[in-house]
Amino acid sequence: MWVPFLGLLVGLLIGTALNIPIPGVWAKYLSIAVLAALDSAFGGIKSIFEERFNAAILLTGFFSNTLMAALLAYLGDQLGVDLYLAAVIAFGVRLFQNLAIIRRELLNIWVEKRRLKKRKRDNSE
């Protein structure tokens, strides 16, 4: 369970240490890329719970989602269409769905564990 947290911590430290300069105008596209990355990462965790995890899908999804999200937002700006909003809604909705599934799975595991413990106690009595 600690692997995602540790990874996130290491990533934050690396990001702080590297101090990569990005022009302010790109902030909008980078923000949508971050949203896509969050979605992919949580999707990966969800797939672990659903026992459908595939490393290739996770990594390719992570990269292509972030890049495509940023590119689409940029393209939308050039065309005068707010594709940015479409990406925010699509990734946002999926992100919350994934989070909900993860929460449910974690809850199930917790409940299962308690039931097992209780059964053990009952058996020992």
Partner 1 sequence: MNKLQNWKIPVFITFILLGVLITVQFRTQQTYLRELSQQSTDDLLQMLSRNDEEITKLEQELIVLDQKLRAVSTDVSTGENLTKELQQDILKQKTAIGLMPVKGPGITITIGADSPIMYLDLIDIINELWNAQAEAIAINEHRVTSWSKIHWSGENNMAVTVNGNKITFPCVITAIGDPNKLEEGLRLMGGVLDDLAIYNIYPVINKEESLEIPAAEIPNIRHMKPKIES
Q: Which residues bind partner 1 (CB under 8 A)?
A: 3-16, 18-20, 22-27, 30-31, 33-34, 37-38, 40-41, 44-45, 48-49, 51, 53, 55, 58-59, 62, 66, 109
> In the complex, what is the shortest distance from the CB of residue 124 to partner 1, in angstroms, rounded to a whole number?
26
Looking at the Cβ atoms of 1 and 79, the one nearer to partner 1 is 1
> In the complex, what is the shortest distance from the CB of residue 103 to partner 1, in angstroms, rounded to a whole number?
15
What is the secondary structure of the chain as a DSSP string?
-HHHHHHHHHHHHHHHHH-----GGGHHHHHHHHHHHHHHHHHHHHHHHTT---HHHHHHHHHHHHHHHHHHHHHHHHHT--HHHHHHHHHHHHHHHHHHHHHHHHHHHHHHHHHHHHHHHHHH-
